[in-house]
Structure 1
Amino acid sequence: MINIVLFGKPGAGKGTQAEFLKEKYNLTHLSTGDIFRFNIKNETELGKLAKTYMDKGDLVPDEVTIQMLQSEVDANPQSAGFLFDGFPRTLAQAGALDRFLESKGQQITATVALEADDEILVQRLLERGKTSGRPDDQDEEKIRNRYQEYNEKTAPLMGYYKDQGKFYAVDGIGSIAEITERLSAVIDNL
């Protein structure tokens, strides 16, 4: 079983690349953003709670995110592996994910980070915001707040996974095909 954490700032291309990787490696794609948006659209209790944080560009609290993700993993017992997109985002979430997977006889195989310059990513998100309808992609201040949150809470995960020998950085600038090729080269050599 292969379990990949796809890592990177908002706008780095995680969702786009996840689509290719899930098909190529027969993985179950678990995107916390997609799961939150589904719950928000359907006005579930989780969705209403998540929306209050997401509207400010803040992270949803760990306990809510962890419970949601565990239920998604449990709902896919026949999966060949998981592609975690947008999770973990904090050291506490990484530890909780490790403990949860360990309880199932699994572990994270690798963490792959799509790296790109902030200014390029801000422009990508503002462009995406014109068609996505997502309010968090239409306000530069909210985008920059998301990057500040990422730098403060998520960037420390690099060290966590480096210490385990499971961290790989991939250049996230270029054509979709070029980036997919770079990601595949890492995963194929695990």
Structure 2
Amino acid sequence: MEILILFGAPFSGKGTQGEILSKRIGFKHLSTGDVLRSERKNHTELGLKAEEYIRQGQLVPDELLEEMIENELIKCKSEKGLILDGYPRTIPQADTLCRLTEKHGIRIKRVLLLDVPHETLIERGVHRGKNSDRIDDKDPNVMNRRIEVYHQETKPVGDYFIVRNLTVRINGIGEIEEVANRILNSI
């Protein structure tokens, strides 16, 4: 099995592109945000703990995610491939993912970095907030905080994978199909 990682700031289009890519290449799309929202909706211990962080615009701590990710990797081993969306978000998570993929004989094929300017991220966030039931999409202050956290904590993960020659920058501006075609051409 191979893994593609969709990487970028909040509102850069990772979820949308993950769904399109999944349909086109037959890889399973795994959004850690969707898994966490499901856990929250089902009032699991993980979901309730994660919700505290999400409401503040912070990242969910690594220890809450590691077990969830390993369980998902094990469940997906029979799949053609896996598209990770929303993980890893920190250098320790990137280390964990590399350790887990090695442990389970899985290869990271590419890290697809969706490059979108700040102003566009906010516009997309406001638009998504109008139609979303996500608690982190309703408050512009939380949106800005999430983008700040991305720049401080998550963006260095892109460099982590650049050094390993796995990262491809994708211009995330344009029509959804246009961006999807850029991604397909890069893999």
TM-score band, normalised by the shorter chain? over 0.9
For residues 35 and 50 of structure 2, the distance between their equivalents in structure 1, rounded to whole angstroms, comes to 10
Aligned to 1:162: 162
Aligned to 1:30: 30
Aligned-pair Cα RMSD in Å:
0.9
Matches within 5 A, 1:72-151: 72-151=72-151
Return the letter of the residue paired with 2:104.
K
Question: Which deviations, in whole Å up to 9, do the C-alpha atoms of 1:40-87 show, x marking residues without a partner?
Answer: 111111100000000000000001111111111111221111100000
Superposition deviation, residue 133 in structure 1 = 2.1
Q: Is the 8 A contact 2:76 2:82 kept in 1?
A: no
Matches within 5 A, 1:46-85: 46-85=46-85
For residues 79 and 92 of structure 2, the distance between their equivalents in structure 1, rounded to whole angstroms, comes to 25
Q: Is the 8 A contact 2:113 2:169 kept in 1?
A: yes
User: What is the TM-score when the length of structure 2 is the normalising length?
Assistant: 0.97
Superposition deviation, residue 155 in structure 1 = 0.7
User: What is the TM-score when the length of structure 1 is the normalising length?
Assistant: 0.96
Superposition deviation, residue 13 in structure 1 = 0.7
**Structure 1 unaligned regions, length at least 5:** none
For residues 102 and 12 of structure 1, the distance between their equivalents in structure 2, rounded to whole angstroms, comes to 29
For residues 163 and 92 of structure 2, the distance between their equivalents in structure 1, rounded to whole angstroms, comes to 16
Question: Which deviations, in whole Å up to 9, do the C-alpha atoms of 1:98-137 show, x marking residues without a partner?
Answer: 0101011122111001111111111111111111122311
Q: Percent identity?
A: 39
For residues 97 and 125 of structure 2, the distance between their equivalents in structure 1, rounded to whole angstroms, comes to 28
Q: Is the 8 A contact 2:10 2:121 kept in 1?
A: yes
Aligned to 2:20: 20
Q: Is the 8 A contact 2:7 2:158 kept in 1?
A: no
The count of corresponding residues between Structure 1 and Structure 2 is: 187
Return the letter of the residue paired with 1:177.
E
**Structure 2 unaligned regions, length at least 5:** none
Return the letter of the residue paired with 2:131.
T
For residues 111 and 123 of structure 1, the distance between their equivalents in structure 2, rounded to whole angstroms, comes to 25
For residues 135 and 27 of structure 1, the distance between their equivalents in structure 2, rounded to whole angstroms, comes to 28
Q: Is the 8 A contact 2:27 2:83 kept in 1?
A: yes
Runs of 4+ with deviation above 6 angstroms: none
